[in-house]
Amino acid sequence: MEYLVALADERHFTRAAELTGISQSGLSAAIRGLEEELGTGLFVRTTRRVEPTEAGFALLPYARSMLKEAADARDAVVKASRAVSGSLRIGSEQCLGLVDVAALLDRFHRRHPQVETHFTQCGSHDLLGMLRSSELDVAFVATDRHLSALPHTEIGREPLVVLPPPDHPLGTRASIPWEALDEEDFIDFGPAWGIRTLNEAAFASHGVHRRVRCSVNDVHTLLDLVNRGLGIAVVPKHVAAKPQAAGLRALPLADGGVPEWTVSVVSTTGGHAEAPAAHLLELLKDTPVCGSEPARLALDRA
């Protein structure tokens, strides 16, 4: 069922195999075996894409339900057999996209109800400072700067896209060259956010000057200001898919060297097997990322 869901979501055998940790041939064989068992095709395969058949779409909600039931069953066993107590201090930047931190905290609390959890939301650079000063045990950050000395695991990457206001001349283009952004007004996040430093470095490396007209600490405020014509935004791709961005065109950057927005989980206490942080990281390996596949992470030691 996990392979079925991964393939239905990705529509691509190679990407689905990577997400589920199996070879492409193994994934193909598993799907083929399921189709033989059910006596019908579940996917239409072409050279470019894979699409679920009507039978595949019919099976998909049951597959998702079975995976959820399996996860709940594992949680119940862990809760009954591995009592974990203590406290867990977690921090995260807002709206990471690649991992649903709220859903992860909910599942952790159900699995380990005796752990007292404390959650903080702020910019990635502030979170790293709190980790170094022992104010946090785990942080989900959106930056690859200043991580080398900290135990961390990359969760995923996304390209940046340009969001011009609805009536901006750049909105008519298919893609945006860096030089077209020179001297434009921008909406961006505050200096503590990982995306702000990523943008500053990217614009500087291309010799492009921009004016940050508004600095915000909320994704929805940023989209509201762009919609009102107060400036352009350069954001991770998933932000452009939010309902509040429905009236905006997300345009790729045309030139090479488009920076990638990187999300990682960082922990200074996860190495202790019985620490609550270690159990959170263990749960993260089996928690859906972007609403579908397991993260399958292994904590890297710097």
d(C-alpha 12, C-alpha 3), whole Å: 11
Phi, psi of 221 (to 5 degrees): -65, -40
How are the residues of the chain apportioned to helix, strand and coil, as percentages rounded to the nearest 5? 40, 25, 35
Tell me the per-residue pLDDT of 16-72, one tens digit each, with 9 for 90 and over: 887 677 888 889 999 999 999 999 999 998 877 889 999 999 999 999 888 878 877
Tell me the per-residue pLDDT of 101-136, one tens digit each, with 9 for 90 and over: 998 998 888 888 888 889 999 999 999 888 888 899
pLDDT value of residue 298: 41
What would the 3-class secondary structure string for 170-182 be?
Answer: HHHCCCECHHHHC
Smallest Cα–Cα separation from 28: which of 4, 52, 53? 4
Reduced to 3 states, what is the DSSP secondary structure of residue 298?
coil
pLDDT over threshold 80, residue 208: yes
Cβ of 70: how many Cβ atoms within 10 Å?
A: 13
Phi, psi of 50 (to 5 degrees): -120, 130
pLDDT value of residue 49: 80
Tell me the per-residue pLDDT of 7-22, one tens digit each, with 9 for 90 and over: 888 888 887 887 677 8
The residue written with tokens 């928690």 in the block is 287
**Structural domains in the chain?**
2-80 (1.10.10.10), 84-156+263-294 (3.40.190.10), 157-261 (3.40.190.290)
Chain-centre distance for alpha carbon 39 = 36
Greatest C-alpha distance within the chain = 61
Percent of the chain with pLDDT over 90: 45
Of 127 and 271, the structure prediction assigns the larger pLDDT to 127
